[in-house]
Amino acid sequence: MKIALIGFGSVGRGKSGIISAGGIDMRAVLDRKKATGMCGTPGISAWDVITTADYDLLIEVTPTDATTGEPALTYIREALAAGRHVVTSNKGPIAVAFHELSRLAAEKNVQLRYEATVCGAVPIMKALEHGLAGNEIIKISGVFNGTCNYILTRMADEGLTYQQALMEARELGYAEADPTYDVQGIDAAIKLVILANTVWGLSTTLDDVDITGIDSLTLAALELADGQECTIRLIGEIIPKKNILRISPRIMPKNHPLVVSGTLNAVMVDTDMAGEVTLIGKGAGSRETASAIISDVLFIRDYHVKRS
Amino acid sequence: MKLEMKDAPGQLVAALKPVSLVGGNIVAVIHQHDPQHLSDTIDVQIVLELPEGKLETLVNLIRNEGVNILRIGEERLLVRHSVILIGHLMHTDLSDTVDRIDTTGFAEVAELHLVMPAIDQPSSAKITIKSTSDEAMGEALAILREVARQKKLMIIEPLEDHQ
């Protein structure tokens, strides 16, 4: 199987180090990764690779633009239209144009997989699609942003103020220089949009999510919660039957399965047959994201390429 | 609740057994023989805690045991729920915020814990609301959400269904 890899940031690098372990033909990857501009073969752009290279599967890991999904959206659209499988870690295009892209993939009889877009290494998409196949998914709730969870954990455990915990998160590389996207709940909200659209087939956008971030949370609030053996976590919730799609800080009993520490992510799926199923794991990081991408690539190799 | 039962062995146990069947908890049993009472029945008062919505089932079960229920004095506000509010709580008229819940008739603020770190800093408060039922709690919280929106307060709710 020949793979084209577009995007050679931390996610792309994390993956190329691991990808040979999957027993995949690295030839195309090694050739094409140089065309991303990072490693430089002057004159060959990502677009050239996508439109002219000989490959079976595109791994798209360029930076996310949550509002337009570009340039990744154009790359993915083009690859699918040309009958190539696509694996992406990019939240933008999946949040913005999932239905269009999945229709296109179905038309061309190729796969579009996006495990890495929600909760990093946690195989939530495969759990929902295959592991819990046949169940009615009633509700999904979870901790979808590791940066916020880290800040809240440090405030609760060490009595740090919000500003102190945020600075610490920055120093450790858990928060961006501009943390807005994380702390205001936008990153988590995009993941809810992806889940709502892919799991229930809804057509939601970021504007449909009722978002409250953690940036005005006080230490006193955490202390008040602590007084009743509770803590506060930023929780995302989708309950389609009740029309609920929201990200908000919530008071949680300390022993609740979704109360995880540090940068961990957690997702609880409420189903009709299986009851509640909770998955916990690392939601970010280059090796963790690579894990999700590799599993998508191998899924396609095993179930779609070998058969054809 | 006040019960009337036959003054015979085993009657009290029979009357109390249904309480645990519906998941209730007996707080007190007041069992007094009244010397002036000439009939062959006795009156017993029991105080108990019941899960939401179980009263009717309990009443039927107790009646099936042949025990007559004379009076049910129901503690009205049984559902408790705490939320945290953050913002300029005093400057946005905290007593009005509380009043909006208290004037509903089906819910009231039972407890308020306020932390004010400094004059120009946002304060934080834990507000415990008691209400008559889950539905009433849902309505009370909806009112509080609206108040929070108007007064630009942040509201942190528990992760439970009171949507």
Residues B128 and B144 in one domain: yes
Residues spanned by the domain of A27:
3-120+287-305
B158/A223 CB distance under 8 A? no
**Residues 6+ positions from A288 with CB-CB distance below 8 Å:** A14, A120, A121, A281, A282
Query: ipTM of the assembly?
Result: 0.78
Task: Look up the CATH number of the domain holding residue A223.
Answer: 3.30.360.10
pLDDT tens across A115-166, in order? 999 999 999 999 999 999 999 999 999 999 999 999 999 999 999 999 999 9
Catalytic residues of A: 191
Residues B67 and B17 in one domain: yes
**Token digits for B49?**
């805690």
3 state SS of A96: helix
Residues A255 and A133 in one domain: yes
Sort out which chain A residues have CB atoms less than 8 A from B122's CB and list them.
216, 218
pLDDT tens across A170-211, in order? 999 888 778 999 999 999 999 999 999 999 999 999 999 999
Residue pair A227/B126 in contact by the 8 Å Cβ criterion: yes
Count of domains in chain B?
Answer: 2
The residue among B24, B44, B71 that closes a domain is: B71
> When comparing pLDDT for B45 and A96, which is higher?
A96
Q: Which of A39, A86, A36, A94 is nearest to A65 (CA)?
A: A94
Which residues 253-292 of chain A have a CB within 8 Å of chain B? 256, 258
Residues B30 and B84 in one domain: no
In chain A, % of residues over pLDDT 70: 87
pLDDT bucket at A216, cuts 50 / 70 / 90: very high
Residues A188 and A97 in one domain: no
Residues A27 and A168 in one domain: no
Task: Report if residue B99 sits inside a domain.
Answer: yes
Residues B31 and B61 in one domain: yes
**Token digits for A292?**
């999700």
pLDDT tens across B131-140, in order? 877 888 889 9
In whole angstroms, give the CA distance from residue B122 to residue A244: 28
Residues B83 and B152 in one domain: yes
Residues B65 and B83 in one domain: no
Strand partners, A234: A249
Task: Report if residue B163 sits inside a domain.
Answer: no
**What's the pLDDT at A40?**
44
Strand partners, A268: A141, A278
**What's the pLDDT at B75?**
61
Residues A163 and A273 in one domain: yes
Residues B107 and B145 in one domain: yes
DSSP B67: P
3 state SS of B13: helix
Residues A50 and A160 in one domain: no
**Residues 6+ positions from B91 with CB-CB distance below 8 Å:** none
Q: Which of A302, A100, A117 is nearest to A193 (CA)?
A: A117
In whole angstroms, give the CA distance from residue B2 to residue A102: 65
A230/B158 CB distance under 8 A? yes
**Which amino acid is residue A172, in one-letter code?**
L
Count of domains in chain A?
Answer: 2
Q: State which of A39-48, A183-192, B27-36 shows the largest mean pLDDT.
A: A183-192
In whole angstroms, give the CA distance from residue B122 to residue B85: 10
Q: How many CB atoms lie within 10 A of CB B111?
A: 11
Residues B58 and B118 in one domain: no
Q: Is the model's pLDDT at B20 over the cut of 90?
A: no
Residues A145 and A273 in one domain: yes
Can you spell out the DSSP letters for A148-211?
HHHHHHHHHHH---HHHHHHHHHHTTSS-SS-HHHHTTHHHHHHHHHHHHHHS-----GGGSEE
pLDDT bucket at B163, cuts 50 / 70 / 90: very low
CB-neighbour burial class of residue A229 (10 A; exposed 0-12, middle 13-18, buried 19+): exposed
pLDDT tens across A239-288, in order? 999 999 999 999 999 999 999 999 999 999 999 999 999 999 999 888 88
Q: How many CB atoms lie within 10 A of CB A97?
A: 18
Task: Report if residue B142 sits inside a domain.
Answer: yes
In whole angstroms, give the CA distance from residue B67 to residue B5: 5
A217/B86 CB distance under 8 A? yes
pLDDT bucket at A306, cuts 50 / 70 / 90: low
Residues A35 and A160 in one domain: no
Distance to chain B for A182, nearest Cα, Å = 18
Q: How many CB pairs under 8 A join A and B?
A: 65
> When comparing pLDDT for A305 and A279, which is higher?
A279
The residue among B71, B98, B128 that closes a domain is: B71
Residues B40 and B93 in one domain: no
**Which amino acid is residue A125, in one-letter code?**
M
Q: What angle do CA B30, B13, B17 make, to 5 degrees?
A: 105
End-to-end, the C-alpha distance of chain B in Å comes to 32
Residues B11 and B67 in one domain: yes
3 state SS of A104: helix
In whole angstroms, give the CA distance from residue B13 to residue A228: 36
For residue B25, which phi and psi values (nearest 5 degrees)?
-130, 125
- Helix A286-300 / helix A10-19 crossing angle, nearest 10 deg: 60
Residues B99 and B122 in one domain: yes
In whole angstroms, give the CA distance from residue B105 to residue B61: 31
Nearest by CB to residue B163, choosing from A232, A244, A252, is A244
Residues A89 and A143 in one domain: no
Nearest by CB to residue A220, choosing from B82, B117, B154, is B117
The residue among B13, B40, B71 that closes a domain is: B71
Residues A106 and A139 in one domain: no
Task: Look up the CATH number of the domain holding residue A68.
Answer: 3.40.50.720
Task: Report if residue B162 sits inside a domain.
Answer: no
**What's the pLDDT at B25?**
84
Q: Which helix (H) or strand (E) holds B45?
A: strand B41-49
In chain A, % of residues over pLDDT 90: 71
Task: Look up the CATH number of the domain holding residue B26.
Answer: 3.30.70.260
> When comparing pLDDT for B76 and B121, which is higher?
B121
Residues A64 and A210 in one domain: no
Least confident span in A7-21, A109-123, B74-88, B102-116: A7-21
Residues B150 and B86 in one domain: yes
Task: Report if residue B93 sits inside a domain.
Answer: yes
Residues spanned by the domain of B38:
2-71
Nearest by CB to residue B163, choosing from A242, A249, A250, is A242
Residues A152 and A271 in one domain: yes
Residues A165 and A247 in one domain: yes
